[in-house]
Chain A
Amino acid sequence: MTAATQEATAWRTAVPESVAVARWSADDRIAVADLAGGVTLLDGRDGVALGPGPRHDGGALALAWQPGGSVLATGGADGRVGLLGTDSSQPAYVEVGGWVHALAWSRSGSHLAVATGRSLVLLDPAGAVLARWDGQPSTVTDVVWSRDGSRVGAAAYGGLRWFSVASPSPDPVRTFDWRGSLLLARVSPDGRWVASGNQDASVHIWRLWSGEDAEMTGYPEKVDALAFDRTSRWMANGGTTEVHLWDFSGKGPMGRSPRTLAGHDAQVSALAWQPTGNLLASAGRDGGMALWSPNAARRQAGPRLRIDAGARATTLAWNPDGTRILTGTVDGSVLAVAA
């Protein structure tokens, strides 16, 4: 580590196994899911462990803090969802089926969408099952919400299938068919676009109201990192060693070429936009983490900050006020830096 890195590092700690995902809560706690099945809670100020969260034998794979609330939802290879509220020290578990690959709360925090095996399951914050859509054509790899929370979407091989939350019929209310394997999906904050990163080294985008679609192809590897900024103007994605930035303003990115941010020596593995500002954090398979100000200029001289996490970075998380960013690695390190 360079001197600059040490100065920038607010704190550093470790969990027992490879970090699958880490997220920062509104009340300055951090939940870290690891592949040994543990979820560790850390104090966001100094990284000191607050205690264990829910357990998921075989690997904890997903976690999400309830927006506007304090429930932590977790999931993993044991086919369970763990729910930990502030009012109890013991998590509640809900059996949902197969591996839990993704969790997403609706914006209001009233519903939790769970991607589990070939099912999409909706829970309330107490763990009651509100709806289940079983027998999807393929394993559900991610879940997304429409902006108003009326629809929930399941990403899988074959596209995105949207279901109605208010009247949960078994059939999708809308399908965005596309013959490819979706690895992750994100809805732009303004609710106009949904984008997926795909196994076949492409990004697919759909206009939500019309279903009109487009595709960015030709990446060297699968695209497993993708994020919209808070203004919905920019979408960043990986799939290569550079961060690609697509301009979604006006009629969208069709016909435009992306800005590229070069600062990683290996494939980009995670991306996260500052929740309060315009900074973009990126992490790479080489363990590098970089911070960018993509709006500053069309030509980027380089990242405004670069640190070496020491091992392949798997996740990035901002604290809610956007002053600190953390990354987790395959060797179990968790480190936070001031932005």
Chain B
Amino acid sequence: MTTSIAEKVPVTVLTGFLGSGKTTLLNRILTEQHGLRIAVIENEFGEIGIDDALVIDAEEEVFEMNNGCICCTVRGDLIRILGTLMRRKDKFDHILIETTGLADPAPVAQTFFMDDEIGSQLRLDGIITLVDAAHLLQHLDEEKSEGVENEALEQIAFADRIVLNKTDLVDTEQLAEVRRRISEINRLADVHETVQAKVDLGAVLDVGGFDLSRALDLDPAFLEDTEHQHDLTVTSVGIEFAGELDIERLNEWLGELLSAKGVDIFRSKGILAVRGMPERYVFQGVHMLFDGTQGEPWGEAERVNRVVFIGRHLDRAALEAGLRGCLAAPVPAA
């Protein structure tokens, strides 16, 4: 039994620190007149009092997959809950997963890659990260002891959309600084400024963040390298150049890159021009997990490669050199 993408129930992951306005946004989503039946999986007790919606409390349970891939962690609680939700006859139009402020988004996303049954019936639409404009910098600059993750940083790095909330509590200068810091970390995510989490629901419920057919409507701004004023551990690296890649070399390079550096590469996305392939080759990854397919035909458009990596300790020069090394040998002129 196969289910096409159109029939798959979209799932939105809502992350953000305590106090960023997650419960406010959740209540807004649930009360607005959208006519959608929504199921909410909550890891943090909020005050949700909606009769129509099914609210399920879950306790975060992360475990490693026994497949030799050290960063392939999944969420056992979500596998069980989503497993019963997707088997119901009475389907929901949308599923929302609210994580705690301290949750790592990677196992949530990887659950959709690693469990084929879930991946066949549900689709991860996007990771939405709520940010408190007044406190973000403090969270980002918090000193963490060795080996301890800065969750605020990771949640921004993983996001498809960032809802920059409580903008009324900061002045213009502070707001600009917050936006600058966000874009240093994650150049791909759209940022929506809000007060009291008032955001257009279309901006958070239909993101297509993991949809390869919608991958990379890349804003050219992603390539601009900003002046780094901080010691950046987590950054975005955007690479763009024209030319055709050799598929064999590309597979080899990407495979080696993700197995060697997958722990540090949180997310990757790209549109590539492959020699002999009339369509765009689109891919996306979460850590070492990788998904690629043929997209729209290039037609008359210039064949340009565009890739973004978001991660820790990324070496721009090495990444670009590696990808350029996949360029196909020039074809001798006839």
Say whether A199 contacts B89, CB under 8 Å. no
- Contacts A138-B61, A180-B66, A286-B1; A199 near B115 (Cβ below 8 A): yes
- Contacts A199-B115, A312-B1, A330-B89; A138 near B63 (Cβ below 8 A): yes
Q: Which of B43-51, B80-88, B147-155, B190-198 contacts A (4 or more CB under 8 A)?
A: B80-88
With a CB–CB cut-off of 8 A, which chain B residues contact A314?
A: 87
With a CB–CB cut-off of 8 A, which chain B residues contact A18?
A: 87-89
With a CB–CB cut-off of 8 A, which chain B residues contact A126?
A: none
- Residues of chain B at interface, number, CB under 8 A: 23
Residue from A18, A141, A286 having most chain B Cβ neighbours under 10 A? A18
Q: Mark B78-110, 1 if CB is under 8 A from A, else 0.
A: 011000100111100000000000000000000
Asked whether A285 is an interface residue with its Cβ less than 8 Å from the other chain, the reply is yes
Say whether A266 contacts B61, CB under 8 Å. no
Asked whether B65 is an interface residue with its Cβ less than 8 Å from the other chain, the reply is yes
Classify the interface of chain A: helix, strand, loop or mixed: loop
With a CB–CB cut-off of 8 A, which chain A residues contact B56?
A: 58, 77
Q: Nearest Cβ distance between residue A318 and chain B, in whole angstroms?
A: 23
- Contacts A35-B88, A157-B76; A200 near B61 (Cβ below 8 A): no
- Contacts A58-B56, A99-B80; A222 near B117 (Cβ below 8 A): yes
Say whether B89 contacts A179, CB under 8 Å. no
> What is the CA–CA distance of A191 and B195 in the complex, to the nearest angstrom?
63
Q: Mark B25-64, 1 if CB is under 8 A from A, else 0.
A: 0000000000000000000000000000010100101011
| A-B contact list, 8 entries, CB within 8 Å | A77-B84, A99-B80, A200-B66, A220-B116, A221-B117, A266-B1, A330-B89, A331-B89
Chain A positions within 8 Å of B, measured between CB atoms, are: 17-18, 20, 35-36, 58-59, 61, 77, 98-99, 101, 117, 138-139, 141, 157, 179-181, 198-200, 202, 220-222, 266-267, 285-287, 312, 314, 330-332
A-B contacts besides A138-B76, A157-B76, 18 pairs, CB < 8 Å? A18-B88, A18-B89, A35-B84, A59-B84, A77-B84, A101-B80, A117-B59, A139-B80, A180-B66, A181-B63, A199-B76, A200-B67, A220-B116, A267-B117, A285-B1, A330-B88, A331-B89, A332-B89
